[in-house]
Structure 1
Amino acid sequence: MSIGRRLLLGSFLFRLLFLPLSLTELNPYAQNDARRFEKLARRFGETLRHGNLPDVEIYTQFIPVMKIGPSDTVWSLVLSPFWLFPGPSGVYARVALLFLGSVAVYNVYALGVRFHSRRAGLLAALPVAAFPSFALSHPTLLRESTILFATTTLVRVFAATAGKRWRFRPASVAILLGLVLVTRPDNIYPYLFAIAIGSWIGWTVRHHAYRTAGAVATTAGLGVVAFGRSIVGLAVQTLSTIHRQRTRGETAYLEQFVPETLIEMVVFSWIGVLYFYFTPFPWMVGQLETLVVLVEPLVNLAYAIPALAGFRYVVRRDVAVGTGLVAGFVVVSVFYSIGTVNVGTAVRMRQQFVWVLYLFGAIYVIDRFRLASDREATP
């Protein structure tokens, strides 16, 4: 059995061990949102089983730009078909979701292999496979495993088909973006931005159309100058509202500072990014949910430092995918750093993107060790 398959199977079995905890109060991630999703999904499933359609207003979730608030109804509706089957429907749903989380682990490994080597892939995938926050949240009815699966698979599709013609690529991308839309609608805009940047850079390099690219960039810049004020104003207002809504609970941080202008957000963003990826700090530990993930920020930091140089290897290997991945990572990091001011929320939300740090950091570390080994072997 190959390393990738062993990793997939091991991740699945490891998550399966935590399934009993997700059915009780012992798993901190199986409470609050997860229980609300299950309650709604059961109700929708029972309605479908009786031959009726659930009476929900799904369209209201998608019309506003950067919709504020949880898309409980949509996600619960996605889960509801599991309640059409006889038996423990909640267990079926949890097994399916933890399997998606295991596939996401394999995707991270495959991307490491694609951009560097099997060792880099394994080093990048290990935190996703073994960290408590991943292993405890994936066997629950939360959206984390699904959005992680959709994100990593989307990057794999672009990486595997870069410079090639694959007739199923548009359909695959559309399905995965649809999955992003029903799990966390706010992400659709940063994802489309990353795809646009990557596609534009890739097209420019392949066709050597640097003058055309310059003209497009100039036009886009003028468009931002002309219409950017209203867009930026809407974004600032939306993020400020999200910031206020999430400064609650015992694990809230930076609640005294609410950015109200673009300048304040720029100043706040880099601090917010540090908190987003590297909390909980030792003085923040006060609940079981934060205690079980205390070691994770230290490992994140250990990957983040080499990742600052490791991204260049990915861009060099595939300029379109690498540039899109870097651009998307920066945008979503800033977005979530401003809108996330609670340790519990940060630990869950960063699962969608922290694997990028693991990927870049692992590639740099493995490459440095390989160069050092080559120098030692040279007579």
Structure 2
Amino acid sequence: MLPGPSGFYARLGNALLGAFAVYNVYLIARYYHSHQAGVVAALPMTFYPSIVAVQSTLLREAIVLFGITTAARLLLLPSHRRSRLLSYALAAVVLHVSLLQRDDNVIIIVAAIAAALAVHAVNSGYLSRRSVALAASLSPVAFVLSLPVIRDGIEFLAYTREVRASGRTVYLPDVIPQTVVELTAFSWVGAVYFLYAPFPWMIETIPDLLVGIEGLINIAFTVAAVWGVRSLGQKNSPATVGLLVGLCVAVVLYGVGTVNYGTGMRHRQMFIWVIFLFGGIGVSEHVRFAWPFQWWSDDSATSTQALNSGTD
């Protein structure tokens, strides 16, 4: 007999989708670097208390995360079981499902795909560098023509900040960008708070402390991601550019529209996996882990081998 409607089964479904999202990130990192890179990238997604909490509830972020990471897996990893056309179709389906949950992510997804396609077109010779230079020279004209749309977007973000500027976890409630210049000036500040808050001076409770520790780990992954971007860029530059553009657009838009770290903690889960992916690859570029507790860097291992050979 079927159990009928149940909150338990809905939460279980969300948890399973979250688990699949972790596996997607692991597979991408493993394919482009190593098993270790996949494990390192998946660890924070597996053990962060905030991620575990959100993915065991009825919140929609787990569905969005599953859709985005599954689309990335379908687009970035080759498969012998299905054609590329089928992979593209399946990616479109899961992205559509994720957009049904959060349609405001459409700008982020379009920007990421457009950037990846542009780099692919240049690398494949479909677009010459002269065409790219011409398009870049015309970008100011496109910016001026799109100013009405940009102003509408700024008004929407300002309204969102005003509505959300309440509660114990609020930060910078009086900062509400109203112009393009103000938005540009505040964008990096909002992005930093969105990705890493709460900072130590904002911690008041034990849950704050746990999420604050996550923020510190996020900073470490961001530093390691510099090497990961370089490594992945050498193997798949369109994917690297697409992921970076999507991440940057996401953290700017959500960073400006978010004004408390409770909301930011939930929303950043949809995108911070990109930092974990690059960070896992970056860590594995320089550090090798051995089970259970031994670790060494590539340089140290090389130096040790040279020293041993010299003493022999």
Shift of 1:155: 1.2
Whole-angstrom CA distance in 2 between matches of 1:161 and 1:231: 38
Whole-angstrom CA distance in 2 between matches of 1:126 and 1:175: 28
Aligned to 1:214: 132
Q: Which structure has the higher relative contact order (CA within 8 Å, separation 6+)?
A: 2
Contact 1:110 1:121 in 2 (8 A): yes
Question: If the length of structure 1 is used for normalisation, what is the TM-score?
Answer: 0.73
Determine if the alignment matches structure 1 residue 372 to structure 2 residue 299. Answer: yes
Check 1:268–1:115 CA distance in 2 against 1; reply closer, same or farther (3 A cut): same
Which amino acid in 2 is paired with 1:93? A
Shift of 1:247: 1.1
Shift of 1:226: 4.4
Aligned to 1:175: 93
Whole-angstrom CA distance in 2 between matches of 1:118 and 1:338: 36
Determine if the alignment matches structure 1 residue 358 to structure 2 residue 285. Answer: no
Find the residue that maps to 2:146 and give its secondary structure. Answer: helix
Shift of 1:373: 5.0
Q: Among 48, 58, 64, which residue is 1:131 paired with?
A: 48
Whole-angstrom CA distance in 2 between matches of 1:270 and 1:219: 25
Whole-angstrom CA distance in 1 between matches of 2:106 and 2:181: 25
Check 1:326–1:315 CA distance in 2 against 1; reply closer, same or farther (3 A cut): same
Q: Deviations over 1:64-115 (max 9, x none)?
A: xxxxxxxxxxxxxxxxxxxxx5346111111111000001111111111122
Which amino acid in 2 is paired with 1:372? D
Q: Deviations over 1:270-308 (max 9, x none)?
A: 111111111112232335643442311111111111213
Whole-angstrom CA distance in 2 between matches of 1:140 and 1:259: 33
Determine if the alignment matches structure 1 residue 308 to structure 2 residue 226. Answer: yes
Contact 1:100 1:145 in 2 (8 A): yes
Shift of 1:375: 2.5
Shift of 1:200: 1.7
1:207-356 to 2 correspondences below 5 Å: 207=125, 209-211=127-129, 213-214=131-132, 217-218=135-136, 221=139, 224-287=142-205, 289-356=207-274
1:91-240 to 2 correspondences below 5 Å: 91-161=8-78, 166-207=84-125, 209-211=127-129, 213-214=131-132, 217-218=135-136, 221=139, 224-240=142-158
Check 1:220–1:168 CA distance in 2 against 1; reply closer, same or farther (3 A cut): farther
Whole-angstrom CA distance in 1 between matches of 2:34 and 2:131: 33
Which ranges of structure 1 fall in alignment gaps of 5 or more residues? 1-84
Whole-angstrom CA distance in 2 between matches of 1:214 and 1:292: 46
Which ranges of structure 2 fall in alignment gaps of 5 or more residues? 289-297
Check 1:251–1:104 CA distance in 2 against 1; reply closer, same or farther (3 A cut): same
Contact 1:243 1:340 in 2 (8 A): yes
Whole-angstrom CA distance in 1 between matches of 2:8 and 2:216: 33
Shift of 1:240: 1.1
Whole-angstrom CA distance in 2 between matches of 1:165 and 1:320: 20
Which amino acid in 1 is paired with 2:238? A
Identity among equivalent pairs (%): 35
Aligned to 1:51: none
Whole-angstrom CA distance in 2 between matches of 1:121 and 1:217: 37
Contact 1:177 1:188 in 2 (8 A): no
- The RMSD of aligned alpha carbons is 2.3
Contact 2:74 2:88 in 1 (8 A): no
Shift of 1:127: 0.3
Q: How many residues are paired up?
A: 295
